[in-house]
Structures are given as C-alpha cells and as structure tokens.
Chains A and B, each alone.
Chain A
C-alpha cells in the first residue's frame, strides 16, 4: 500500500450518504477481477515479445528465458494467448479461494 501524500481531511461533517467521495487511498488492481489467467508454456516460449507488444494493460514482464504476465495487473483478457504465434499461452480458469 502506498502512502498518501497528505493527511486526509476531516470529512466527519459531511453526511455519509451524500455523494461519492473518498479520502483514504485504497488500491484496487485490475488483477482483482480476473476470471482466467494466462499460463506460459516455457518450452514453447521463444521470447519473441508478441505478448509484450499486444498486452492492453502492459503487464508482460521479461524473465530470463520467457515472458509472463504480472498477475496483480493482468485482467485476464486473453489477448496474449490469442496473439502468441507459438501457442505458448493457455488461459486457465481462476478458482474461487
């Protein structure tokens, strides 16, 4: 959790049913509502970077021998799996914890 630059002001005099405002920082990540996750088959991945180019959230991270999605950010759209020329990315359903 990141720190807020300024101390939140006192909102206690504003009715809490009035209007949608927030005074405390809460991180909500796009990865929180993913239904499917991309799993990379490392034997097939040739590090061509196609997934990196296409990912709409730009969450593809480079590893030594392969690329993979940062699952905090990845929202599971499946574009990488669709575009991978080597069929190295499979979408696997997320299970409820």
Chain B
C-alpha cells in the first residue's frame, strides 16, 4: 500500500529520490535547498536510500562528481539553487551536450544582489538556455511524482538529457501538505532498468575519448559541431512527446494525472487568461474561481514544462482567448519584462490574429503573490482586453 505522510516540499522531493533508487548523490547545502539535502542524508543513514552520498566542498564539485558517476553507469541526483547553481555553472553548462541523464532539483531562489535567501525563480530562469529540461511543480505531490518521472524522461534513449525539477523555495520547499509515497516495486516497474552510459562512458571495456576537441574553422570541425548541436535540439523536441507519454503512463499507474506541458484551467469559454508557473498557480486558480463567480470569463494557463518550450501546447491554449496576462517570478533585465512573458510574446507571433498581452512580475525574493494580487492581475488583463495595454511590466509587490 502506498504510504501517506504530511511533509514539506523538500522532504517530498527526497522521497521521490528515494523511490528512484539513485546510485550516487552529491550535494552541497544552500538555502532553501538545505533540508532536501539533509533529508537525503538521513535516508542514506537509515538505509532508505542505498546510494553513495558525497558531501563535497562546493557545487562545482557536486556536478563534476556526478558527471563521472553517470559516465560510469550510475543513476545520480543532486539539488541546488541560487548562488550554488551559479557556482555550479561550468559543469552545468557541459552536462546536457555530454547527454548525461542527471536529475537535479532546483529549489528556486531569487538572484542576489540585493542579498537575500528567499524564493523566486531567477536562478532557474537564468539558466533556461543551457540545454537542460526544466519542469516547474505546483505542489508537493507533484514534486515527488515529477522527480520519479524525470528519471524516466532523462533516460529515454530518444532524449538522454539532464532534467531540472524546479520547485519554489519557501512556498513549496517549506510548505507542508499531504503526500502519497508510491510503493517501491511499482516505481521500479515504472522506471525500468537504468542504462545511463550506453552512449558515452568511462569504461575500460569500451575505450573511448569523452569530449575530444571538436570544432574550429577547418576540416570536419565546423560540420561536426553543428551535428551535435542539431542532435541536442532534436532530442529536446523528442522530449516533448516523451514528457507527455510519461505523464500519461504515470496517471494510469498511480492515479494522479498532471498536465505534462501546459495545463488549461477553465479556459474553454474564457475571453482572457492569466499565465502562471510553479507554486503561485494555486492562488491563481483560486482567484480565477472567485472572478468566475463574479461573472468574469477568465481562465488560467499553467506552464509546467518550460524547456523544451512547449510551443504547440501554448499556442493551442492562447488561441482560445483574446488577451493574456503573464505572471513571472523572475526578471528578464534585457527585455524589461518577465521571461515567461517574453517567450509567450514570441509564441503569439504564430497566431493569425494579434492579441494584447501584459507582463506582471511578482513574488521576488520571497514576496507572496496572494489571491488578492491575482485579483488585480485579472482586472488589469481584463482592461487589456478592452484596449488598455500597459507598455511596462506591472510589479505586483511594488505597493505591498
């Protein structure tokens, strides 16, 4: 029987890791990820996780260790965020093109400076173009389930890419909910046999040079480099279908259905919609329900998978409405807007008609995006539908 417990998001993540049976975990603690690392450490001490746990001297070593372990055939896990992710960046950049199916939680945290230790999505959003798969979770059960699914997606032979499972620092990492932990044999059957290094390996039986010098201006260098880049892009596109299939099978086996790429909430008869990502979505749905009761024809579009960018799914959702308001928990400094907004604008270009869109930025450095905030987001998006479209982003917590 599946076990039901009450725990915070970091413990839920640790249970997802436990059920995925990694061979090696390397971690370095950083707020708000630390209790995730502590839970895993406890699980290893208690024999719940039979993995080698390496407490290394920093995040650069964390991912370097896991690269070696993965190349040697291990299933691996780590978690980080914020400045830890920044310090990890050199091996982080190298992991996707090496095609290593490492799973890593980003317990999202705002970027410093100003000095802060609180949630935001600036860290994960900043690395969105590095080539990892990124999925953002809404609640603790989704964190646990998505971590297990992440291994299945990462290790699919048509994908072979690392996956970031992102959950909001503070609001999910420390928020307590009821969580169901699936039984080990069922998860084992779902995940199947691991084989993380069939394609690239540190293995005396299969001698090869890993990552030899490739590129340059002469010989086969330029075309070879392009070939690897195209292969990476193709596998990212393959991942869209694999993510959908994996979520569907998860729903069948474990009874919990999640929208794999994009969730449409009360959208079918909506005139306009708000777009959310991550833990803010719950408050967004409540605000949509309240507005519906007042007769507003508003819906919600939740982005779960942000990399690969689910363009068709987003297009299908936005084609149902006549205006959108996008709520970001991060800043795209170069665009004076949020990154989810910025990418949605690129998608809107594919619509036959132009529709107004508004950028909202909130929840920075631990700030809450409340139902009342969402009420204002919905009202501003409704005004955009009537032609009043702000040119600048609306900063949700500016007047808190």
**Interface, chain A (partner B; CB < 8 A):** 4-6, 8-9, 11, 14-23, 28
Contacts and interface: CB of A to CB of B under 8 A. Distances in A.
Interface in B184-233: 198-200, 205-214, 227-228, 230-231
Contacts of B135: none
A28 B213 contact: yes
A19 B208 contact: no
Given A18-B160, A19-B98, A20-B97, A9 B212 contact: no
Provide the main secondary structure of the chain B interface.
Answer: loop
A18 B234 CA distance: 10
Contacts of A20: 97-98, 210-212, 214, 228
B209 A22 contact: yes
Given A18-B228, A20-B211, A22-B209, 11 more contacts: A9-B205, A9-B206, A9-B208, A11-B208, A14-B198, A17-B227, A17-B228, A17-B234, A19-B199, A20-B97, A20-B228
Contacts of B198: 14
A18 B231 contact: yes
Contacts of B200: 18-19, 21
Contact of B207 (A8, A14, A16, A18): A8
Contacts of B227: 16-17
Contacts of A17: 227-228, 230-231, 234
A18 B235 CA distance: 9
Contacts of B167: none
Interface residues of B, number: 23
A14 to B, nearest CB: 5
Nearest to A19: B99
B40 to A, nearest CB: 28
13 contacts: A5-B207, A8-B207, A9-B206, A14-B199, A15-B199, A17-B227, A18-B200, A20-B210, A20-B212, A21-B200, A22-B208, A23-B207, A23-B208
A19 B228 contact: yes
A22 B221 CA distance: 13
A22 B207 contact: no
A17 B210 CA distance: 14
A47 to B, nearest CB: 36
Contacts of B97: 19-20
B160 A22 contact: no
Nearest to B160: A18
Contacts of A9: 205-208
B206 A18 contact: no
A36 to B, nearest CB: 18
